[in-house]
Amino acid sequence: MADVTRRIGLSLGADVCWPICYEEIVERLKLAIPMGGDTLRFEVERLTIEPFDLRQPVRYDVVLDRLTHWYHTSREWIKKAVVMNDLYVLNNPWSIQSNEKHTSYCAMMRLGLPIPETWLLPPKEYEPAADLQVTLERYAKFFDLGKIGERVGYPHFIKPYDGGAWVGVSKIGNRAELVEAYDASGKRIMHLQSAVEPFDLFARALGVGPQVHVMKYDPAAPLHDRYKVAFDFVTAEEWQTLANLCLTINAFFGWDFNSCETLRRDGVFHPIDFANACPDSQVTSLHYHFPWLVKAKVKWSIFVAATRRKMRWNLDWAPFFEIADGDEPFPEKLKRYARLAHQRFESDRFVEFCAEHLRHVDEVTWEFFGTPTAKEAVRKKVEALFPAHEVEQFTEHFWGLIQFWRKTEGEYLGLGPERAGA
Ligand SMILES: Nc1ncnc2c1ncn2[C@@H]1O[C@H](COP(=O)(O)OP(=O)(O)OP(=O)(O)O)[C@@H](O)[C@H]1O
Ligand SMILES: [Mg+2]
């Protein structure tokens, strides 16, 4: 029986808080997992950026990546490591690179999800290119923006087809506003999307492998207060629907880690953005929900590294489309998509693995989030984001919400009132 080290790599940019907590929790788990006659130990390392030989070996079994969507050196290293060295990475870099918000809307429409009416517009301006003039003269049709606005209906949203972080997103109430927003959109390719209004609930579902956490969200609140500490805001059936929607799209696109936004109107959940494959993971946004995310990442990455789960290189959409093209009503289709997603995420094996090897992760996480190290991680993130005179106040604010999580989590885990309330 040999001691074998499995290495988890963190590919990071501006992330401050979750990596500190993640590293500390993995350390505190003191894992020694018997597998295949060996004892598995785990090390976490932060990846560095440097020139690399395409044939050089890779130290990691799994990489949690936060750079692929914008930092291409890291993305290309990851792609080399998947192709050459069988690396498992959260998330599939090809899928992130090529499946933007636009493709996710198309996929969800094909699968029968109630996506609001959405149009794509050619851009207002172009980067000069050799064949541009002749191409546009021959083939670009003049169009009446006002007519498209009426087809989509007011109010609607104009937003980049591949957007993120609310950049270039405007709510449009009439033709004049639409013309103004389109004129200002420059070289971006934009969508017009019918507004889901009035909605009575905005929910975000965060998925990590087969694990889903559903949160109430208020887009109008200041950044630090958008995720709500709310319980019982959906029925058990609605929760299942939201979880199934999230798992379906994540499995469809090979995204192990994604955040899915839906609006409820008249009892129906309308997805408006399921393409967030590098979701906000900061304590300054997630606060109460932050420990759930860190723990979910720990569990899934340890499972992947320990079992040497194979990454899905190709997305294989055919089984989803077979269900989509059938005659069943949508709720039945959604259940079948979700079953497919559970197969792809090996949910049963994951649950068994956690029960056998990660029994203590709940308590270790709960304990860790009461330590000075955890508080320091919060403070560091607050320092990076807030002006100096607000650091103390907001550190206490987020820390207080994490302590409230400890109280509810402690009660849920039955850790006993004196410990849970400590
Ligand atoms: N069809 C819609 N109906 C109602 N509200 C919408 C719609 N589309 C967008 N919004 C609003 O605009 C916000 C930003 O839109 P969207 O999520 O598509 O852009 P984003 O740039 O990806 O933002 P984020 O980074 O928050 O995900 C949403 O959180 C929501 O409040
Ligand atoms: Mg969004």
Q: Would 31 be classed as within a structural domain?
A: yes
User: Can you tell me whether residue 330 is helix, strand or coil?
Assistant: helix
- If asked whether residues 247 and 189 sit together in one domain, one would say no
Using the mean position of ligand 2's atoms as its centre, give its distance from the Cα of residue 264 in Å: 15
Ligand 1, atom 15, residue with closest C-alpha: 166
Average pLDDT score over the chain: 96
Same domain, 241 and 377: yes
Task: For residue 329, say if its preceding peptide bond is cis, omega within 30 degrees of 0.
Answer: no
Asked if residue 106 is part of any domain, the answer here is no
The pLDDT confidence band at residue 206, using thresholds 50, 70 and 90, is very high
Indicate if the pLDDT at residue 33 is higher than 90: yes
For 295-351, how does the pLDDT look when each residue is reduced to its tens digit (9 = 90+)? Answer: 999 999 999 999 999 999 999 999 999 999 999 999 999 999 999 999 999 999 999
Question: How many structural domains is the chain composed of?
Answer: 3
345-363: average pLDDT: 98
Contact 208, 296 (CB under 8 A): yes
DSSP state of 328: S
Which listed ligand is nearest to 202 at the C-alpha? Answer: 1
Are 268 and 237 within 8 A, CB to CB? no
For ligand 1, say whether the CB of 100 is within 6 Å of any of its atoms. Answer: no
What's the confidence (pLDDT) of residue 305? 98
With a 6 A CB cut-off, is 163 part of the ligand 1 pocket?
yes
Answer whether 155 contacts ligand 1 (Cβ < 6 A): no
The reply to whether 221 and 245 lie within a common domain is yes
Domain limit, last residue, from 169, 194, 219: 194
Residue 167 CA to ligand 2 center (angstroms) comes to 10
Range of the domain at 348: 201-420
Indicate the top mutation candidate among 197, 216, 261, 269 to test ligand 1's pocket, ranked by most ligand atoms within 8 A of CB: 261
Is residue 45 located within the same domain as residue 124?
Answer: no
Average pLDDT over residues 207-216: 98
* pLDDT confidence of residue 72: 96
Is 104 a member of any domain? Answer: no
* 242 domain-assigned: yes
List the one residue out of 254, 251, 241, 211 whose CA is nearest residue 89.
254
Of the three residues 194, 217, 249, the one that is the final residue of a domain is: 194
Q: Whose CA is nearest to atom 1 of ligand 1?
A: 195
Distance of CA 268 from the midpoint of ligand 1 (Å): 17
Share of the chain above pLDDT 90, in %: 96
CB atoms under 10 Å from CB of 184, counted, come to: 12
Tell me if 273 CB under 6 Å of ligand 1. Answer: yes
* Judgement on whether residues 404 and 274 belong to the same structural domain of the protein: yes
Q: Shortest CA distance to 405 belongs to which of 416, 421, 387, 388?
A: 421
Three-state DSSP at 219 gives coil
Q: 195: Cβ below 6 Å to ligand 1?
A: yes
Confidence of residue 422 (pLDDT cuts 50, 70, 90): very low
Helices (H) and strands (E) in the chain, counts: 17, 13
pLDDT band of residue 166 (cuts 50, 70, 90) is: confident
Radius of gyration of the chain (CA): 23
How high is the pLDDT of residue 257?
97
Question: Domain boundary at 194, 224, 245, which?
Answer: 194
In a domain, 103, yes or no: no
Look at residue 416 and tell me if it is in a domain.
yes
Dist. CA 333 → ligand 1 center (Å): 26
**pLDDT for 418 beyond 80:** no
CA–centroid distance, residue 162 to ligand 2 (Å): 10
pLDDT of 417 reads 56
Whether residue 135 contacts residue 141, with contact meaning beta carbons closer than 8 Å, is answered with: no
10 vs 65: CA distance, rounded Å: 6
pLDDT in tens, 223-253: 999 999 999 999 999 999 999 999 999 999 9
Q: Are residues 61 and 85 in the same domain?
A: yes
User: Residue with the nearest Cα to atom 3 of ligand 1?
Assistant: 195
Distance 211 CA to ligand 1 centre (A): 24
- pLDDT value at position 419? 56
* Ligand 1 pocket member 269 (CB < 6 A): no
